[in-house]
Chain A
């Protein structure tokens, strides 16, 4: 049973649009929440991460929003570009890394 639930499974967005991926967890021992980005044929790579005492973190066009009371967090990709087409995994760390199921994002030019 996955400890981090991720939705949607896939999404299609037009160039310049906003992609939103949502994740939820139950384990209150999680104390760090990274997002990984994976291109076809490659291993995942860290994209951005947040601690639970912060409600929002922004790096360029990527923003994490975190709601500790609801045990939910989300990734927003602003001004989506074709090069953002990839699979995105949310994750959570207690003493090990637990991944969500992944969201495949396709950005249409």
Chain B
């Protein structure tokens, strides 16, 4: 039981490039979400999904896309990377009262 896995662990992008952060879970959770963590700001919700085919925006969705074709996978797409998207990204899955977080992806946009 791997829990929540994220790839890559580290990534450097140039401004304007696109990429996909991968997230997978093996706990059969319907609810999955993406957060970004920035110093002094805690974790802010980007997008979330309550099941396959259903996604919704969180607090800071601009510049990011998501899709949920299976229960297990919830990829996050950066359409055109900007320096403001430099952050640590966490994927989580769980029930309403407990979220299990992945190990994070540290993204730097130059």
Interface positions of A (Cβ within 8 A of B)? 2, 6, 9, 32, 34, 41-46, 49, 89, 93, 96-102
Contacts and interface: CB of A to CB of B under 8 A. Distances in A.
B58 A99 contact: no
Given A96-B48, A96-B58, A45 B42 contact: no
Instruction: State the main secondary structure of chain B at its contact with A.
Output: strand
B90 A43 contact: yes
18 contacts: A2-B41, A34-B97, A43-B101, A43-B102, A43-B104, A44-B90, A45-B101, A49-B97, A49-B98, A93-B96, A93-B97, A96-B48, A98-B45, A98-B59, A99-B35, A99-B44, A101-B40, A101-B42
Contact of A44 (B43, B45, B48): B43
Contacts of A44: 43, 90, 101
Interface string B48-86: 100000000011000000000000000000000000000
B42 to A, nearest CB: 4
Interface of B: 4, 33, 35, 40-45, 48, 58-59, 90, 92, 96-104
Nearest to B3: A43
Contacts of B103: 41-43
A105 B76 CA distance: 31
B48 A46 contact: no
A6 B40 CA distance: 10
* Closest A-B pairs by Cβ, 4 of them: A43-B101, A99-B42, A101-B42, A99-B43
